[in-house]
């Protein structure tokens, strides 16, 4: 069964099972090259029917609230294994014309609460309501596939991406020749399937040993912090007061790491901080009992490799420090496994064909995303949420 047929069947069943009294009705549309993951379209495209085209944002949010009140949104994501989307819905044509409309759209899904970012290691700015810039690093910087906050014990369950401005030109990358800054996505459930089949020893080691993620945060008020764009005080110093001594600041940061993230602080002689988090690399979706590849260490390796930072002191050509991820017992992850992991991710990835006004709902538990370089002006905004279900252990 093709992905297009699956998408149409999903939307037909969706409409039949969930009649609505609102002025808006949604239907599936074919997304070229979409994938078939466990019998579901990845991603699923939804847009207004021909009879309800060009809805107002008020009609859109009212319809989504109705679906949320009926439990439809929740059932799609985690309550009915035979209907779970296992990753991404691409909404198109819903009159999301600016950041304020995007904020209202995300609120209408009635997810439990906004996700508070702890340990941000990137540049983001608040735009409107719960909406931020996705990342403000230069457009030529590539991001490999990762789970959002996948090396953290505290993570968002749901991501919304809003394509406000689509650039005219993309750049070639190892993701393939891409157009208009397309966002790569993949099913982390499908990725588990491939790893277990292609690299069974690696899959076994990940499930039995887990991983230790390491992250470098420069000291505040240093040239390094200015170059990178963040530091440990900005990322973890929520309780620090102006007159706190350095020892007190360290103590407060370590307390945040231990209590919020179950992470360990290792202070360096140059005043920098290494954050160590021992976590499972593969977790289980409770409602479907499926394993999911929930981490970002492939991207850590890829960016370190690209910047010539695979050996101590792990400082790259980009000026950053790219600390390696190890197995949970401290042993190295073989480079051959890491290279093959990157290849498999590219093999099963999908490039989101953004149009202005598109919104992608990404189930962070079952889908990974990346970033392709681009040329020209681009605006991709993000909203992060806690969901109704947390991941379980393997």
Question: In angstroms, what CA-CA distances link 79 with 29, 42, 45, 188, 253?
Answer: 24, 18, 20, 18, 37
Q: Is the peptide bond before 43 cis (omega within 30 degrees of 0)?
A: yes
pTM of the full predicted structure?
0.91
Strand 264-267's sheet: what is its strand order?
A: 264-267, 273-279, 211-217, 326-327
- Tokens 């009915």, located at residue: 80
- Measure CA 338 to chain center: 20
Domains 3-185+350-386 and 194-343 fall in the same CATH topology: yes
Residue 38 has a pLDDT of 86
To 10 degrees, the CA torsion angle through 301, 304, 305, 309?
Answer: -130
pLDDT 10s digits, 135-183: 888 999 999 999 999 989 999 999 999 999 998 765 455 555 455 578 9
Residue 86 has a pLDDT of 60
Can you identify the CATH homologous superfamily of domain 3-185+350-386? Clavaminate synthase-like (3.60.130.10)
Tell me yes or no: is domain 194-343 CATH 3.40.190.10.
no
pLDDT 10s digits, 6-65: 454 454 445 445 455 567 999 999 999 899 998 888 999 999 999 998 999 999 999 999
Residue 22 has a pLDDT of 64
Q: Domain ranges for the chain, please list them.
A: 3-185+350-386, 194-343
- Residue ranges in the chain modelled with pLDDT below 50: 1-4, 6, 8-9, 11-13, 15-16, 18, 79-81, 171, 177
Residue 6 has a pLDDT of 45
């Amino acid at each position: 069964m093709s992905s297009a047929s699956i998408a149409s069947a999903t939307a037909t069943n969706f409409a039949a099972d969930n009649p609505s009294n609102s002025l808006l009705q949604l239907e599936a549309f074919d997304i070229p090259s979409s994938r078939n993951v466990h019998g579901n379209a990845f991603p699923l495209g939804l847009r207004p029917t021909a009879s309800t085209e060009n809805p107002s944002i008020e009609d859109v949010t009212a319809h989504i609230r109705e679906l949320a009140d009926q439990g439809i949104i929740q059932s799609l994501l985690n309550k009915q294994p035979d209907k779970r989307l296992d990753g991404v819905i691409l909404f198109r044509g819903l009159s999301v014309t600016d950041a304020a409309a995007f904020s209202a759209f995300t609120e209408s899904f009635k997810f439990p609460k906004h996700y508070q970012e702890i340990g941000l290691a990137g540049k983001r700015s608040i735009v409107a309501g719960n909406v931020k810039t996705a990342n403000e690093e230069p457009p030529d910087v590539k991001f490999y596939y990762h789970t959002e906050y996948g090396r953290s014990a505290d993570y968002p369950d749901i991501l919304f991406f809003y394509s406000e401005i689509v650039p005219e030109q993309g750049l070639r990358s190892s993701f393939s020749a891409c157009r208009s800054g397309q966002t790569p996505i993949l099913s982390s459930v499908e990725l588990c399937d491939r790893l277990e089949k292609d690299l069974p020893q690696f899959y076994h080691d990940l499930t039995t040993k887990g991983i230790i993620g390491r992250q470098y945060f420069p000291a505040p008020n240093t040239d390094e912090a200015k170059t990178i764009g963040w530091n440990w005080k900005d990322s973890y110093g929520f309780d620090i007061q102006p007159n706190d001594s350095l020892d007190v600041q360290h103590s407060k940061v370590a307390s945040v790491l231990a209590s919020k993230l179950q992470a360990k602080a290792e202070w360096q002689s140059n005043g920098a901080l290494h954050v160590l988090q021992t976590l499972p690399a593969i977790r289980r979706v409770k409602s479907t009992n499926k394993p999911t590849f929930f981490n970002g260490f492939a991207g850590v390796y890829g960016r370190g490799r690209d910047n010539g930072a695979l050996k101590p002191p792990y400082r790259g050509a980009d000026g950053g420090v790219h600390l390696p991820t190890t197995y949970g017992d401290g042993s190295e992850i073989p480079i051959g496994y890491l290279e093959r992991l990157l290849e498999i991710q590219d093999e099963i990835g999908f490039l989101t064909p953004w149009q202005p006004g598109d919104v992608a709902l990404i189930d962070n538990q079952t889908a990974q995303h990346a970033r392709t370089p681009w040329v020209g002006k681009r605006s991709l905004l993000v909203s992060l949420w806690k969901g109704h279900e947390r991941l379980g252990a393997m």
